[in-house]
Amino acid sequence: MTAGPHIPESGTPSEQPVDWPALRALARGAMARAYAPYSGYPVGAAGQVDDGTTVSGCNVENASIGLSLCAECGLVSELYARGGGRLTAVSCVGQDGVPVAPCGRCRQLLWEHGGPGLLVDGAAGSRRLSELLADPFTPEHLAR
Ligand code: THU
């Protein structure tokens, strides 16, 4: 069990190589199992962990629409369900299998478990999470 919140390191880029085709394939597999009957917009997310393993998730919607879970939520849940770790790269895809940018809430969610150096897949190449989210709220704010 985790003793305290994860304070992301201040941005040292991961040196771990990323197999983007494999990560996208994992995300596509998760997308195919999404439960998205309300939006009709299935999403799959796959992440590479610093121990070399991978995790994934899909969106799970609800009749109470605002309760719908994004694919990234499932990914982070699996990360902890199997023992934790730091995310080094993430790919999220829509129904066409093409990368989609994580929503704002999920950028914040990913920050806590991957930090600013987390690589995020994009149709035009990968970007660091720090390019997608400025001035995030972090556990350090809670300590002030
Ligand atoms: N969705 C995700 O799963 N991740 C995102 O980053 C963006 C949006 C889902 C939520 C909802 O089930 C559907 O996509 C349409 O918004």
Please state the pTM of the whole predicted model: 0.93
Note whether 27 and 70 are within 8 A (CB). Answer: no
Q: What atom of ligand 1 comes closest to residue 103's alpha carbon?
A: 6
Of all atoms in ligand 1, which is nearest to the CA of residue 73?
A: 3
Give the pLDDT confidence score for residue 75 in this predicted structure.
Answer: 98
Choosing from 72, 112, 131, 140, the catalytic residue is 72
Q: Residue-wise pLDDT tens for the chain (144 aa)? A: 455 786 655 545 567 899 999 999 999 999 999 999 999 999 999 999 999 999 999 999 999 999 999 999 999 999 999 999 999 999 999 999 999 999 999 999 999 999 999 999 999 999 999 999 999 999 889 998
Rounded to whole angstroms, how far apart are CA atoms 18 and 6? Answer: 23
Residue 8: the pLDDT is 58
Sheet containing strand 44-49, edge to edge, reads 54-58, 44-49, 87-93, 119-120, 127-128
The pLDDT of residue 115 = 97
Distance between Cα 133 and ligand 1 center (Å): 17
Q: How far is CA 91 from CA 27, 48, 130, in A?
A: 7, 9, 16
Helices (H) and strands (E) in the chain, counts: 5, 5
In the structure encoding, which two tokens stand for residue 44, read together?
């799959």
